[in-house]
Amino acid sequence: MKANIFGVSLLIAAVGGGANALSPVGVAEDAAVDPATGISLPDGFKATVFADDVGQARHIVAAPNGWVYVALRRSVRGMGAVALYDPDGDGRSTERQYFAEGLQGSGVGVHDGHLYYSTDTAVMRWPLPESGAPTGDATIIAEGFVPETQHASKNFTFDGDGNLYVNVGAPSNACMREMRKKGSPGMRPCPILEKYAGIWRFDADTPNQDQMSDGHLYSTGIRNGLALAWNTHADALYMAQHGRDQFASFFPEMFSNEQSAELPSEEFHRLDDGSDVGWPYSYYDHIKGERMVMPEYGGDGQTVSNEGQDPLVGFPGHWAPNGMMFLKSDAVPADYRKGAFIAFHGSWNRAPLPQQGYRVVYLPMDDDGNVSGDWVTFANGFAGPEPVMNPRNAVHRPMGLAEGPDGAIYISSLMSGGRVWKVTYEGE
């Protein structure tokens, strides 16, 4: 049933494409994958495998010097990042330099002539080299993040005014008194909100800023905002968060396995200074189109909440938005230029139903950052030909997104040894 509704909405989105020149069509759900790359793309786009077996690739950045830098979740021979280069421009890198000795991390970015990188406890930077891997010790920019196990990645982005925005995920599911224990109520006020579950803003150039004494809590109530990007067209911050897990484990009387697979929504938000997304007191239900009271806080799956702003879009549950990107160049057709590309890592929380979401989607937006149409799938096929009953059987899972100086799009995956694809628009 769910799958059907989903199919229909995709169809509507696809049909709608004909009516408006700026509504992209995306790639059809059943489009064949290119055997050379394992993925499918909309007509006119072409992919190459830019790099294979790089290690557990997380976020990526394509720098103005032509190199692609990849953060590694687990170090490779003691190195926590890798630099990749394709000298002859055929879409396949042949040069590879590992760096960031003794570190491992998730975030990477370029700002004002520097290469930034984050471990789970700090954001640091090197001067961006003319080519290849940076050398010497990195300068710490933001630090003091508490080491955690759950939602520990410190992904980040920059605005146009010299500010750095860092996601500090909540080491928690729903701020239950006892961690992930059935029947344990949520704490109010949730003490986790003090140091976590928000976006902290720092000066991008000042060394050694401490999260709590120097950082500014820019936006709160965010369980884990791994997909975080500055929209240069609208000059605003956007974020997609990972919704809470395990409705059916803790509240089987309110949520069937089917409902628990679909809910809560993965929420896509515009974040202004002082905004509150509502975690842990509320969640969003895209089927009802309402923000609901979290069951740990007295919700029953039916009661509407007034805590937290509504998202611009509620994506299906547990798809795990891990990367987000807004393009700056005009190398792609006009209907793909102003909106958000979101890389969904794919679910684990939909069992016993098949897992879903292993794809990159495109959400059309206008110059002012308003959503202007239904989202479409931009890249698909990552997980492989079979329905994914267990995420470990997914061949690839999209992770980071980046735009090269020439407008090429890069997509990373950390499965099967770690891969980076390069996607270009070649025309019809």
Partner 1 sequence: MKANRLFLMVALVATCFPATAQDTDAKRLYEENCGVCHQYDGGGVPMLQPELIGRPRANGPKGGVIEVILQGSTALAPTESDYGNEMPSFAHLSDLEIALIASYVRTHFENNGGPVTADDVKSRR
Least distance in angstroms from the C-beta of 348 to partner 1: 4
Q: How far is the CB of 179 from partner 1 (least distance, A)?
A: 5
Sole residue written with tokens 């976590």: 196
Residue 221 backbone class (left: φ over 0; alpha: ψ -120 to 50; beta: rest): left
> Residue holding tokens 């100086």?
405
Residues in the chain: 428
Beta-bridge partners for 313? 268
Which residue, 73 or 125, has its beta carbon nearer to partner 1?
73
Residue 31, judged by CB atoms within 10 A of its CB (0-12, 13-18, 19+), counts as middle
Report the relative pairing of strands 321-326 and 275-276 from DSSP bridges. Answer: unpaired
Q: Rounded to the nearest whole angstrom, what is the least distance from the CB of residue 402 to partner 1 in the complex?
A: 21
Q: Write down the least CB distance from residue 162 to partner 1, Å.
A: 32
Question: Which residues make up the interface to partner 1 (CB under 8 A)?
Answer: 56, 73-74, 149-152, 178-183, 245-246, 248-249, 252-253, 348-349, 351-352, 389-393, 414-415
Number of CB atoms found within 10 A of residue 53's CB: 10
In the bound state with partner 1, the residue whose beta carbon lies nearer, of 48 and 119, is 119
Nearer to partner 1, 87 or 252 (CB): 252
Output phi, psi for 291, to 5 deg: -85, 130
Query: Are the beta carbons of 347 and 319 closer than 8 angstroms?
Result: yes
Of 131 and 246, nearer to partner 1 (C-beta) is 246
Beta carbons of 262 and 316 less than 8 angstroms apart: yes
Q: Which is nearer to partner 1, 130 or 253 (CB)?
A: 253
Q: How far is the CB of 418 from partner 1 (least distance, A)?
A: 12
Contact 232, 273 (CB under 8 A): no
Q: Which is nearer to partner 1, 26 or 55 (CB)?
A: 55
In terms of DSSP H, where are the helices of 278-390?
A: none
Least distance in angstroms from the C-beta of 73 to partner 1: 7
